[in-house]
Amino acid sequence: MYRRMTAACQEKCIARTFREGKLTEGEAVCLDRWVAKYLDVHEKLGKCLTTMSQNDEAALQKMSEQQQH
């Protein structure tokens, strides 16, 4: 995840030709916003996948209980 995020942020926010050794203010703002969005989406996706997994587990448990009776 970190490698993909780094590559995507660099591609979107940092110019291919470096004029300065440090990030410009615009680059820094872009990176901050991009990372925040990326992590927010990652967190939401993780919660969604957890919910789906729990629902699947509950359904399997219910099926197992029905087969035992």
pLDDT score at 54: 95
C-alpha distance across the termini of the chain, in Å:
45
Separation between Cα atoms, residue 30 and residue 19, nearest integer Å: 17
Number of domains comprising the chain: 1
Structural domain that includes position 11: 2-68
**Which DSSP category does 57 fall into?**
H
- The DSSP H or E segment spanning 26 is helix 25-68
Q: What is the CATH number of the domain that holds 6?
A: 1.10.287.810
Cβ atoms 31, 9 nearer than 8 A: yes
pLDDT tens-digit readout, 6-63: 888 888 888 888 788 898 999 999 999 988 998 899 999 999 999 999 999 999 999 9
Angle, CA of 62, 45 and 27, to the nearest 5°: 175
